[in-house]
C-alpha cells in the first residue's frame, strides 16, 4: 500500500487469525464484547550488547529493572537486530521491513560519505538512502490512524532533514529525535553530549547537571500521566549506551570500586592480536598492521569499563521509573512492552567499552556479537511469565506483533517482512523461516561487508571482502569458531541459494569493484550477483 492510499484508508479492525488467548482475555469489558485497545510501549537501547544485562549473563553491569521485566515477561535467547549498525535496524523497527527494502543499509550518513573507499578496500559501496522515506508506512502512522496518541523520545537517526523526523512520520509528540545518532558533544558550540546543554533542536535544554536519559524518562512519564486514559503508543529510544562515554560521577565511582573488588583493576582487558586486526581497514585507509598503535582496533575480553557500566545502570534505572509509572497509573494491566537494542555491543573499536563473549565480533560485524541482541516482551495475562523462548526473532517482527496486539490486520500493509510473534509467546514451536542480513559496507569497527542468512540452527555468512562463504551451527557453536562450509557443501549451497534468491527479491544493492584497490588478487565483479 502506498502512503497516499494509506492516509485515505480507514484501517480494517478485526480479530486476527491465530491471535490466541493472551489478547482475547482482555476483549470483554463490562460484559460486552467491545474490543479494548491495548497500549504499546516500545523501548529501544542503542549499542546495548547481548551480554550486557544481568538476565543475559552479565556479572558486572547491574540491571535489576530489566531483569524484573524478563521475569514478568518472556526473554528471547535468539533475538536479532536487522543490521549490525543502528539506522537500518531502526528503519526496520518502524516499518517491519528488511533494511535492504527501504534502502537504508548503513548508519546515516555512513562511513563511505566521510572517507569513501580506501585503497585497502576491495569494494566500494553504492549510495543508499539517508532517510526513511515518507512513502514508507510506520507503526506510529498506523496506530495514530486508529486513534492512538503517539509519542517518541530519544534517538531517531532516520533523516538528515527535519521533514523526515518523527513528527512527520506519525508521532504526535517528538522529544529529542533528529538527525544525529549520538548526543551532541561539541565544546566549541557549547554542547555537552549526555549532559545539558544538549544542542538538540527537538529537546529544550534542562537545568544544570541534567542527564539526558533522566530527561527522556521524565518526558515519557509526563506523557503517560497525561494520556493514560486513552490508547497510546510510546517509543522510548535511548541514546544510551552509544559513545561518548559519559555518566554521573557518583555512579562511576561505584563501578570503579566494583572493578577493584572483582580484581579487574590492572587485569589485561583487551586482546590486540586477533588475525582480523591485521587486515581490517582503518578509517584512514590503512591496514592496522601498517599503522601499529593507530589502527584503533582492540577487542575487549572482560566486562569492566566503569563509565559504560554506569550508563547501563542509567538505562535500567530509567526504564524502571517508566515501568513503575505504568503500574501506578494502572496502565500496566493493558500495555504491551517490548525491549530490544538496535545492534550488538561495541567491542572491537572506538574504545571497545563492552565484551560480547562468547559471541564473536560486535557492532559492525555480521557475526553473532554484531546482530544478536536482548529481546524482552511482556504482555498482560501471560501464562508463562518468566519463561525463556528460543525462537529466532528479528527487528522485522516488532511491527506486525504490535499491530496484532492493537487488533489491526497487518495483511492490509504490503511488503511487511516480519511475522506476528503473539501466537508463539506461549509455545516452543514456530514456523521454520530464514532470517536475513545485508550489510554492503565496510564497518568502522573492522567488520567486512557481506550478507548472512540463518535457517534453523545454521547460519551462513557471505563475506564480500574474502569471497568466502562461512557456515556455522549456532546450536553447537554460538561463538562461530568452526567454519563448517567445507564439510557440509549441501547445507552451504542450500543456504547460499536461499540468500541469493532473497537478495534478488529484495532488490538488495551489492557493491562495485574499487578501481583504486591496491590488492594483488584479481577482482571478481560481484555487483551483478
Number of residues that this document lists for the chain: 529
Residue 253 lies in a domain: no
Whether residue 234 sits in one domain with residue 96:
yes
Residue 30 lies in a domain: yes
Residue 377 lies in a domain: yes
Count of domains observed in the chain: 2
Cell triple for 224: 503517560
What's the rounded Cα separation, in Å, for the pair 385 and 139?
Answer: 26
Whether residue 394 sits in one domain with residue 467:
no
- Pairing status of strand 458-463 against strand 450-455: antiparallel
Residue 517 lies in a domain: yes
Q: pLDDT tens digits, residue range 67-112?
A: 999 999 999 999 999 999 999 999 999 999 999 999 999 999 998 8
Whether residue 325 sits in one domain with residue 219:
yes
**Chain centre distance of CA 442:** 18
Whether residue 386 sits in one domain with residue 454:
no
Q: How many degrees, rounded to 5, is the angle at CA 418 between CA 10 and CA 356?
A: 135
Q: Which helix (H) or strand (E) holds 469?
A: strand 469-473
**Chain centre distance of CA 377:** 15
Whether residue 236 sits in one domain with residue 87:
yes
The CATH number of whichever domain residue 462 belongs to comes to 3.30.1120.10
Residue 91 lies in a domain: yes
Residue 226 lies in a domain: yes
| pTM for the whole structure | 0.92
Contacts of 30 by beta carbon, 8 Å cutoff, 6+ apart: none
Whether residue 177 sits in one domain with residue 134:
yes
Residue 79 lies in a domain: yes
Residue 18 lies in a domain: yes
Tens digits of pLDDT across the chain (529 residues): 555 455 544 333 333 333 333 333 333 333 333 447 899 999 999 999 999 999 999 999 999 999 999 999 999 999 999 999 999 999 999 999 999 999 999 999 998 888 888 888 899 999 999 999 999 999 999 999 999 999 999 999 999 999 999 999 999 999 999 999 999 999 999 999 999 999 999 999 999 999 999 999 999 999 999 998 899 999 999 999 999 999 999 999 999 999 999 998 776 899 988 888 877 766 555 444 444 444 578 999 999 999 999 999 999 999 999 999 999 999 999 999 999 999 999 999 999 999 999 999 999 999 999 999 999 999 988 889 999 999 999 999 999 999 999 999 877 777 899 999 998 888 777 889 999 999 999 999 999 999 999 999 999 999 999 999 999 999 999 999 999 999 999 999 999 999 999 999 999 999 999 998 987 554 444 444 3
Q: pLDDT tens digits, residue range 4-47?
A: 455 544 333 333 333 333 333 333 333 333 447 899 999 999 99
Whether residue 374 sits in one domain with residue 233:
yes
Q: Do the Cβ atoms of 28 and 161 come closer than 8 Å? A: no
Q: Do the Cβ atoms of 213 and 238 come closer than 8 Å? A: yes
Provide the domain limits for residue 506.
Answer: 448-529
Q: How many other β-carbons are positioned within 10 Å of the β-carbon of residue 247?
A: 23
The CATH number of whichever domain residue 86 belongs to comes to 3.40.720.10
Verify cis geometry, omega within 30 degrees of 0, for the bond prior to 244: yes
Amino acid at each position: 500500500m502506498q502512503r497516499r492510499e494509506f492516509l485515505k484508508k480507514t484501517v480494517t479492525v478485526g480479530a486476527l487469525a491465530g491471535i490466541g488467548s493472551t489478547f482475547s482475555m482482555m476483549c470483554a469489558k463490562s460484559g460486552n464484547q467491545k474490543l479494548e485497545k491495548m497500549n504499546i510501549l516500545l523501548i529501544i537501547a542503542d549499542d546495548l550488547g547481548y551480554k550486557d544485562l544481568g538476565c543475559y549473563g552479565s556479572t558486572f553491569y547491574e540491571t535489576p529493572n530489566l531483569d524484573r521485566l524478563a521475569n514478568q515477561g518472556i526473554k528471547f535467547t535468539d533475538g536479532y537486530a536487522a543490521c549490525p549498525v543502528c539506522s537500518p535496524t531502526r528503519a526496520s523497527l518502524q516499518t517491519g521491513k528488511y533494511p535492504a527494502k527501504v534502502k537504508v543499509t548503513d548508519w546515516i550518513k555512513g562511513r563511505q560519505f566521510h572517507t569513501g573507499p580506501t585503497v585497502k578496500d576491495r569494494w566500494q559501496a553504492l549510495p543508499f538512502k539517508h532517510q526513511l522515506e515518507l512513502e514508507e508506512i510506520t507503526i506510529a502512522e498506523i496506530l495514530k490512524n486508529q486513534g492512538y496518541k503517539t509519542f517518541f523520545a530519544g534517538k531517531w537517526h532516520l533523516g538528515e532533514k527535519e521533514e523526515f523526523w518523527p513528527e512527520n512520520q506519525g508521532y504526535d509528540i517528538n522529544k529529542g529525535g533528529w538527525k544525529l545518532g549520538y548526543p551532541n558533544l561539541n565544546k566549541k558550540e557549547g554542547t555537552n553530549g549526555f549532559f545539558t546543554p544538549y544542542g538538540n533542536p527537538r529537546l529544550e535544554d534542562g537545568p544544570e547537571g541534567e542527564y539526558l536519559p533522566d530527561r527522556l524518562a521524565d518526558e515519557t512519564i509526563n506523557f503517560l500521566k497525561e494520556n493514560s486514559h486513552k490508547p497510546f503508543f510510546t517509543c522510548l529510544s535511548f541514546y544510551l549506551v552509544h559513545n561518548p562515554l559519559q555518566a554521573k560521577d557518583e555512579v562511576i565511582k561505584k563501578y570503579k570500586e566494583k572493578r577493584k573488588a572483582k580484581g579487574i583493576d590492572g587485569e589485561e582487558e583487551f586482546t590486540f592480536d586477533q588475525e582480523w586486526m591485521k587486515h581490517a581497514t582503518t578509517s584512514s585507509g590503512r591496514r592496522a598492521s601498517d599503522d601499529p598503535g593507530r589502527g584503533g582496533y582492540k577487542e575487549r575480553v572482560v566486562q569492566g569499563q566503569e563509565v559504560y557500566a554506569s550508563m547501563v545502570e542509567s538505562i535500567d534505572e530509567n526504564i524502571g521509573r517508566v515501568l513503575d509509572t505504568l503500574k501506578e497509573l494502572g496502565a500496566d494491566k493493558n500495555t504491551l512492552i517490548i525491549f530490544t537494542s538496535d545492534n550488538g555491543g561495541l567491542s572491537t573499536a572506538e574504545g571497545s567499552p563492552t565484551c560480547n563473549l562468547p559471541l564473536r565480533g560486535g557492532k559492525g560485524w555480521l557475526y553473532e556479537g554484531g546482530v544478536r541482541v536482548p529481546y524482552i516482551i511482556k504482555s498482560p495475562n501471560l501464562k508463562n511469565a518468566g519463561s525463556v523462548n528460543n525462537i529466532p526473532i528479528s527487528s522485522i517482527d516488532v511491527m506486525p506483533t504490535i499491530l496484532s496486539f492493537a487488533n489491526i490486520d497487518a495483511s492490509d500493509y504490503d511488503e511487511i517482512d516480519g511475522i506476528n510473534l503473539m501466537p508463539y509467546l506461549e509455545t516452543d514451536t514456530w514456523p521454520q523461516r530464514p532470517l536475513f542480513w545485508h550489510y554492503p559496507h565496510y564497518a568502522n569497527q573492522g567488520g567486512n561487508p557481506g550478507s548472512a542468512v540463518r535457517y534453523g540452527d545454521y547460519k551462513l555468512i557471505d563475506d564480500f571482502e574474502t569471497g568466502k562463504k562461512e557456515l556455522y551451527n549456532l546450536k553447537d557453536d554460538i561463538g562461530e569458531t568452526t567454519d563448517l562450509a567445507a564439510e557440509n557443501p549441501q547445507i552451504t549451497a542450500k543456504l547460499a541459494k536461499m540468500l541469493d534468491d532473497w537478495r534478488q527479491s529484495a532488490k538488495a544493492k551489492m557493491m562495485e569493484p574499487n578501481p583504486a584497490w591496491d590488492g594483488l588478487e584479481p577482482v571478481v565483479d560481484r555487483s551483478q550477483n
